[in-house]
């Protein structure tokens, strides 16, 4: 039995070694895969090829196969120029309906990729394996490509194509036939509150942001989480102003109790968001998916929004929406319906107040000044600085005068400044340039 096991292990290692060598020497890469479309925006399965070499490659009679060895043979006379892309589509009518402007394409391939895991293999005309991408919808592989409207997009063209970390779920519906570039969605989810603190329970809510310079009517728009039966119909007559915000909340009474000044809000949703990760989706007036986000509550995602009193705040509206690095912990209880304030002056941090306050000003590039007012400072009054993951970076007693703090050891980014006095706390933020 041990001999049989060792023989199998040897074959696996030899195949992996061969595959690695083949992939590193192949001039053609698989750079994007659409394997499980949203039902309302379904172009069929497709795969994108890229010529990474400096010369034209004749890919006549090359074959693409899946794990079931169903194959598609690339037509004779097919040339792929240096640094050029080519899309191999499954269904011409479906693909053209979604991507009428893509001309660098061939098919139909009739290749049906699995919605859970598959091998997308590329063989040359002599049946040599050139590339074998073994994707999954679990583990480190991006989840947004699994039915939520996005695609698997290769990050590092020189990296390991079988490492899920080397793929990301790119723009909505992908970028077939061209290199990935930052996305330009008209509407994004700019803030998410999915698990309120018990002491500051506003219910779940999501903030919509219009990235354009024109108003957008939300007539007949719908909002869903990961379940198609959980539907909120946005009331007719609601318009998202140019560069404006709108909040959709689970419980109107709870929300207004915590945020009485917010008027650009609609609800109730009658469903909540999961605290272990969830898909949130926006559908247009035609019933078709416009936008989706999948968040999580585990590192590297910010963990304080999970019952810690903070929200998920979007960093870059043109960034990768399902990547943790594009989200940070917002203000205490968030800043619903308004632009994010790095010092949380528009947030609800005032609920912690018992009359005291403090200000944060920049003295130099490496120094901030914190001035505390309205409290009897004593040995128990403390100032702490936390990074956006909640890690404490600095702590000092609050002095009687301005507290000048050296920030030279802090990397560029956003930080919390927390003052604890009289058994209460107040939090603000500052940006280290």
- Average pLDDT over all residues of the chain: 88
* pLDDT: which is higher, 354 or 330: 330
Which pLDDT tens digit goes with each residue over 211-235? Answer: 999 999 999 999 999 999 999 999 9
Instruction: Say what the pLDDT of residue 432 is.
Output: 76
Q: Is the pLDDT of residue 39 over 90?
A: yes
Residue 422 reports pLDDT greater than 70: no
Three state DSSP letters for the chain: CHHHHHHHHHHHHHHHHHHHHHHHHCCEEEEEEECECECCECCCCEEEEEECCCCCEECCCCEEECCCCCEEECCCCCEECCCCEEEEECCHHHHHHHCCCCCCEECCCCCCCCCCEEEEEEECCCCCEEEEEEEECCCCCCCCCECCCCCEEECCCCCCCCCHHHEEECCCCCCCCCCCCCCCCCEEEEEEECCCCHHHCCCCEEEEEECCCCCEECCCCEEECCCCCCEEECCCCCEECCCCEEEEECCHHHHHHHCCCCCCEECCCCCCCCCCCEEEEEECCCCCEEEEEEECCCCCCCCCCCCCCCCEEECCCCCCCCCHHHEEECCCCCCCCCCCCCCCCCCCHHHHCCCCEEEEEEEECCEEEEEEECCCCCCCCEEEEEECCCCEEEEEECCCCCEEEECCCCCCEEEEEEEEECCEEEEEEEEEC
pLDDT score of 411: 84
Report pLDDT for 18.
43
Q: How large is the average pLDDT for residues 17-22?
A: 43
Mean pLDDT for 309-314 is: 94
Going by pLDDT thresholds of 50, 70 and 90, the confidence category of residue 375 is low
- Whether the per-residue pLDDT at 377 is higher than 60: the answer is no
Across residues 292-308, what is the average pLDDT? 95
Q: Is the confidence at residue 431, as pLDDT, over 80?
A: no
**pLDDT of residue 426 exceeding 90:** no
Q: What is the predicted pLDDT for the residue at 106?
A: 98
pLDDT score, position 300 = 95
For the ranges 131-135, 252-256, 281-285, 410-414, the lowest mean pLDDT is seen at: 410-414
Share of the chain above pLDDT 70, in %: 87
Position 19 scores a pLDDT of 46
């Amino acid at each position: 039995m041990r001999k049989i096991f060792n023989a199998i292990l040897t074959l696996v290692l030899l195949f992996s070694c061969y595959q690695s060598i083949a992939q590193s020497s192949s001039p053609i890469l698989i750079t994007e895969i659409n394997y499980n479309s949203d039902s309302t925006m379904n172009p069929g399965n497709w795969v994108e090829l890229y010529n990474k070499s400096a010369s034209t490659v004749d890919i006549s009679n090359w074959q693409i196969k899946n794990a079931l060895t169903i194959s598609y043979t690339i037509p004779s006379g097919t040339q792929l120029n240096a640094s050029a892309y080519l899309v191999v589509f499954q269904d011409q009518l479906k693909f053209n309906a979604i991507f009428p402007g893509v001309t660098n394409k061939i098919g139909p391939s009739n290749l049906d990729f699995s919605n859970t895991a598959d091998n997308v293999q590329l063989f040359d005309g002599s049946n040599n394996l050139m590339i074998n991408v073994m994707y999954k919808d679990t583990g480190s592989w991006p989840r947004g490509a699994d039915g939520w409207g996005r695609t698997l997009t290769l990050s590092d063209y020189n990296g390991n194509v079988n490492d899920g970390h080397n793929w990301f779920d790119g723009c909505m519906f992908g970028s077939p036939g061209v290199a990935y570039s930052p996305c330009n969605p008209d509407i994004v989810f700019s803030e998410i509150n999915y698990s309120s603190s018990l002491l500051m329970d506003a219910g779940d809510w999501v903030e919509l942001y219009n990235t354009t310079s024109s108003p957008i009517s939300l007539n007949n728009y719908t909002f869903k989480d990961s379940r198609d039966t959980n539907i909120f119909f946005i009331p007719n007559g609601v318009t998202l102003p140019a560069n404006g915000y709108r909040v959709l909340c689970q419980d109107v009474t709870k929300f207004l109790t915590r945020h009485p000044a917010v008027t650009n809000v609609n609800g109730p949703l009658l469903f909540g968001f999961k605290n272990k990760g969830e898909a949130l989706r926006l559908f247009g007036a035609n019933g078709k998916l416009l936008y989706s986000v999948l968040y999580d509550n585990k590192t590297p995602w910010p963990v304080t929004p999970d019952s810690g009193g903070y929200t998920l705040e979007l960093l870059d509206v043109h960034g990768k929406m399902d990547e943790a690095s594009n989200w940070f912990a917002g203000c205490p209880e968030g800043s619903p319906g308004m632009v994010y304030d790095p010092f949380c002056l528009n947030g609800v941090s005032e609920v912690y107040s018992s009359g005291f306050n403090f200000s944060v000003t920049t003295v130099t590039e490496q120094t901030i000044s914190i001035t505390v007012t309205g409290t009897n400072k004593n040995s128990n009054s403390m100032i702490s600085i936390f990074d956006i993951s909640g890690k404490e970076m600095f702590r000092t007693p609050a002095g009687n005068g301005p507290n000048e703090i050296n920030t030279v050891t802090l990397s560029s980014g956003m930080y919390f400044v927390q003052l604890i006095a009289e058994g209460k706390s107040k939090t603000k933020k500052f940006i280290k340039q």
